Chains A and B, each alone.
Chain A
Amino acid sequence: MIEATAVGRTFRVRGSVVHAVRDLSFRIEAGEFVGCLGPNGAGKSTTIKMLTGILAPTSGRVTVAGLDPSRRRTGLARRIGVVFGQRTTLWWDLPLKDSFELVRLLYKVDREVFRRRLGELAELLDLGGFLATPVRQLSLGQRMRGDIAAALLHDPALLVLDEPTIGLDVVSKAGVRDFLRRLNAERGTTVLLTTHDLGDVERLCRRVLLIDHGRLAFDGTVDDLRALVPGETSIEDVVAHLYLNSPASPRTPPAPRPSGDPPSVTA
Chain B
Amino acid sequence: MRPGPDCGSSTACATDELRSPGPRVRRCAAFSLYLRLVRYGFRKHAAYWGAAVAGAFTNTVFGVLRAYVLIALWRSRPHLGGYDLPDAVAFCFLTQAFIGPMQVFGGGLDLTERIRSGDVALDLVRPASLQLWHLSEDLGRAAYLFLVRSVPPTVAGALLFGIVPPADAPAYLVSFVLGVVVSFGWRYLVALAAFWILDDRGLAVASLVLTTFFSGLMLPLVIFPGWLGALARALPWAAMVQVPADVYLGTTGPGPALAFQALWAAVLLGLGALATSVARRRVVIQGG
Direct contact of A and B (CB under 8 A): yes
Q: Is the interface of A mostly helix, strand, loop or mixed?
A: loop
- B227 interface residue (CB < 8 Å to A): no
Tally of A-B residue pairs with Cβ under 8 A?
Answer: 4
Q: Which residues of the partner chain B approach A260 to less than 8 Å between Cβ atoms?
A: 47-48, 50
- Which residues of B from 35 to 65 have beta carbons under 8 Å from A? 47-48, 50
CB distance from B118 to the nearest CB of A (A): 14
Alpha-carbon distance A92/B157, docked complex (angstroms) = 44
- Which residues of A from 222 to 260 have beta carbons under 8 Å from B? 259-260
Q: Which residues of the partner chain A approach B47 to less than 8 Å between Cβ atoms?
A: 260
Residue of B nearest to A259 (CB): B50
CB distance from A94 to the nearest CB of B (A): 16
Alpha-carbon distance A259/B47, docked complex (angstroms) = 10
Q: Which residues of the partner chain A approach B50 to less than 8 Å between Cβ atoms?
A: 259-260
Alpha-carbon distance A259/B51, docked complex (angstroms) = 12
Alpha-carbon distance A134/B47, docked complex (angstroms) = 35
Q: Which residues of the partner chain B approach A259 to less than 8 Å between Cβ atoms?
A: 50
Tell me how many residues of B have a C-beta within 8 Å of chain A: 3
Proximity string of chain B (61-101) to chain A, C-beta cutoff 8 Å, 1 when within and 0 when not: 00000000000000000000000000000000000000000
CB distance from A172 to the nearest CB of B (A): 22
Alpha-carbon distance A91/B48, docked complex (angstroms) = 29
CB distance from B116 to the nearest CB of A (A): 12
CB distance from A112 to the nearest CB of B (A): 38
CB distance from B54 to the nearest CB of A (A): 13
Alpha-carbon distance A259/B49, docked complex (angstroms) = 11
Alpha-carbon distance A60/B255, docked complex (angstroms) = 74
- Which residues of B from 14 to 53 have beta carbons under 8 Å from A? 47-48, 50
CB distance from A163 to the nearest CB of B (A): 24
CB distance from A206 to the nearest CB of B (A): 42
Alpha-carbon distance A260/B48, docked complex (angstroms) = 8
Residue of A nearest to B47 (CB): A260
Alpha-carbon distance A259/B50, docked complex (angstroms) = 10
CB distance from B101 to the nearest CB of A (A): 22
Q: Which residues of the partner chain A approach B48 to less than 8 Å between Cβ atoms?
A: 260
Alpha-carbon distance A91/B47, docked complex (angstroms) = 31
Alpha-carbon distance A46/B48, docked complex (angstroms) = 27
Residue of B nearest to A258 (CB): B50
Alpha-carbon distance A231/B183, docked complex (angstroms) = 67
Alpha-carbon distance A260/B47, docked complex (angstroms) = 8
Residue of A nearest to B51 (CB): A260
- Which residues of B from 250 to 279 have beta carbons under 8 Å from A? none
Proximity string of chain A (68-91) to chain B, C-beta cutoff 8 Å, 1 when within and 0 when not: 000000000000000000000000
CB distance from A136 to the nearest CB of B (A): 12
Alpha-carbon distance A48/B89, docked complex (angstroms) = 56
Alpha-carbon distance A170/B217, docked complex (angstroms) = 56
Alpha-carbon distance A92/B50, docked complex (angstroms) = 29
Alpha-carbon distance A48/B234, docked complex (angstroms) = 61
CB distance from B223 to the nearest CB of A (A): 42
Alpha-carbon distance A139/B105, docked complex (angstroms) = 35
Alpha-carbon distance A207/B192, docked complex (angstroms) = 54
Alpha-carbon distance A260/B51, docked complex (angstroms) = 11
Alpha-carbon distance A260/B50, docked complex (angstroms) = 10
CB distance from A92 to the nearest CB of B (A): 14
CB distance from A141 to the nearest CB of B (A): 20
Alpha-carbon distance A260/B46, docked complex (angstroms) = 12
Alpha-carbon distance A259/B48, docked complex (angstroms) = 10
CB distance from B82 to the nearest CB of A (A): 45
CB distance from A248 to the nearest CB of B (A): 32
Alpha-carbon distance A260/B52, docked complex (angstroms) = 14
CB distance from B43 to the nearest CB of A (A): 15
CB distance from B199 to the nearest CB of A (A): 11
Alpha-carbon distance A13/B152, docked complex (angstroms) = 31
CB distance from B51 to the nearest CB of A (A): 9
CB distance from A15 to the nearest CB of B (A): 19
Residue of A nearest to B48 (CB): A260
CB distance from A149 to the nearest CB of B (A): 28
CB distance from A30 to the nearest CB of B (A): 45
CB distance from B225 to the nearest CB of A (A): 44
B positions within 8 Å CB-CB of A: 47-48, 50
A positions within 8 Å CB-CB of B: 259-260
Q: List 4 A-B contacts (CB under 8 A).
A: A259-B50, A260-B47, A260-B48, A260-B50
Q: Which 4 A-B pairs have the closest CB atoms?
A: A260-B48, A260-B47, A260-B50, A259-B50
